[in-house]
């Protein structure tokens, strides 16, 4: 009998949960390895250390920039402040040039300076084991105990809020990886705007998460691979809850909709760095949304946390309710087939 091959992308939540049963724990580990949690949290006396690791495996353009921000997002989604970055960089043999490495290092340093992070070390090598640049970043941050926010703390009755929009990162990746095809169908102006999604609306959620800390937010999560619906699934699985999501309420920018349609991708299952998912009591939601609006930040209530027995459901645009879509692999992987 042939063993089933794993699909591209993150391990499925149920597979990962089974594997994580074998990880060790210790009293100082406040948040350890778990499905849906963005980072580990370690008791360090009067404050907690927040530690995360994330590789860049889809984007080839500006992967150094991506690496800093996606790792900083994980710290921010825990309620923390990113402080220190390091990276293991593996370059493809026969392709890597010194000039390319200089550009990559400049991207990393620029991104770190933008959010006040120190680049403190790492490792760089050329290897025949990769065929594109691989950047595996690590970020260390800090959080006070009263600001710590777990993915696993969502409460039944909480509203689910999406800050910014779905598939921001996916839009930038599509525009960079398929530039000629995008320009041919949509023109150079839209191509450039979509490529610039990296910066505007941007893949960082550091300031958005910091603002949320001032409200009684129960759970925050950074939806990356698998998109917004996978992020919601991870929150609910971590919190042992169900949920009802309204598809019409999920913000999808026009450029995102057009590019996903062009390449046959579902934006709800496409990598979504740049968005922030959070849950909070219904009575606090209007205050938070008002504060985001005052800062010019898009945020929408897209659903509600439900009891576990209610399951994970989505109300479709036609009003019919169906199971929440599950994506075995991120939709962006279709670009590389």
Cβ-proximal residues to 93 (8 Å cutoff; 6+ apart), any chain: 126, 127, 128
pLDDT at 257: 98
Beta sheet of 134-143, edge-to-edge order: 29-31, 40-43, 48-56, 134-143, 81-92, 118-127
CA 133 to chain CA mean position, Å: 20
Helix (H) or strand (E) holding 109, with range, is helix 98-114
pLDDT at 137: 95
Judged by DSSP in three states, 304 sits in strand
Cα(14)–Cα(229) distance, integer angstroms: 15
Break the chain into its structural domains and give their ranges: 25-147, 151-336
pLDDT of residue 34: 76
Q: Pick one of 3.50.50.60, 3.30.1330.10, 3.40.710.10, 3.30.565.10 as the CATH number of 25-147.
A: 3.30.1330.10
State the DSSP string of 255-291: HHHHHHHHTT--GGGS--BTBEEEEE-HHHHHHHHHH
* Equal CATH topology for 25-147 and 151-336: no
Rg of the chain over Cα atoms, rounded to whole angstroms, equals 19
CB 315 within 8 A of CB 246: yes
What is the maximum alpha-carbon separation in the chain?
A: 60
Name beta bridge partners: 137. 54, 87
Give the Cα separation of 65 and 264 in Å (integer).
27
Tokens of 164: 């910014």
Hey, which CATH number is domain 151-336, 3.40.50.150, 3.90.650.10, 3.30.1330.90, 3.40.30.10?
Answer: 3.90.650.10
Q: Can you give the pLDDT at residue 33?
A: 75
Residues 6+ apart with CB under 8 A from 64: 87, 103, 104, 105, 106, 107, 108, 111, 135
pLDDT at 180: 96
Given a cut of 70, the residues of the chain with pLDDT beneath it are: 1-2, 22-24, 36, 59-60
With a CB cutoff of 8 Å and minimum separation 6, the contacts of 264 are 334
pLDDT at 185: 97
pLDDT tens digits for 41-97? 889 888 899 999 988 877 667 889 889 999 999 999 999 999 999 999 999 999 989
Express each pLDDT in 19-31 by its tens digit: 777 666 788 888 8
Q: What's the confidence (pLDDT) of residue 337?
A: 75
């Amino acid at each position: 009998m042939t063993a089933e091959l794993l699909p591209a992308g993150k391990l499925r939540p149920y597979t990962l949960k089974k594997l994580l049963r074998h990880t060790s724990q210790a009293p100082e580990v406040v948040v350890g390895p778990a499905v849906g949690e963005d980072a580990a949290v370690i008791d360090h006396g009067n404050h907690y250390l927040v530690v995360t690791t994330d590789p860049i495996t889809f984007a080839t353009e500006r992967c150094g920039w991506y690496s800093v921000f996606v790792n900083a997002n994980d710290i921010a989604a825990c309620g923390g402040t990113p402080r220190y970055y390091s990276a293991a960089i593996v370059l493809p043999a026969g392709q890597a040039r010194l000039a390319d490495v200089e550009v990559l290092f400049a991207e990393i340093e620029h991104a770190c300076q933008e959010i006040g992070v120190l680049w403190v070390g790492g490792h760089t090598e050329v290897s025949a084991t990769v065929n594109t640049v691989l950047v595996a970043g690590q970020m260390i941050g800090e959080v006070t105990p009263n600001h710590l926010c777990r993915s696993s703390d969502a409460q039944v009755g909480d509203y689910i809020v999406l800050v910014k929009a779905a598939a921001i990162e996916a839009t930038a990746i599509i525009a960079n990886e398929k530039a000629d095809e995008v320009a041919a169908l949509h023109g150079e102006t839209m191509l450039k705007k979509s490529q610039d999604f990296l910066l505007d609306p941007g893949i960082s959620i550091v300031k958005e998460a910091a603002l949320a800390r001032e409200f009684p937010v129960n759970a925050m999560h950074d939806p990356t691979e698998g998109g917004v619906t996978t992020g919601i699934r991870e929150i609910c699985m971590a919190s042992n809850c169900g949920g009802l999501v309204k598809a019409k309420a999920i913000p999808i920018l026009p450029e995102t909709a057009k590019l996903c349609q062009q390449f046959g991708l579902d934006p709800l299952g496409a990598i979504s760095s740049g968005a922030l998912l959070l849950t909070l009591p219904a009575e606090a939601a209007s205050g938070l949304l008002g504060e985001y609006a005052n800062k010019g930040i898009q945020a929408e209530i897209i659903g509600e946390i439900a009891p576990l027995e209610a399951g994970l459901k989505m109300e479709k645009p036609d009003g019919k309710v169906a199971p929440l879509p599950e994506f075995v692999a991120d939709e962006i992987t279709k670009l590389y087939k």
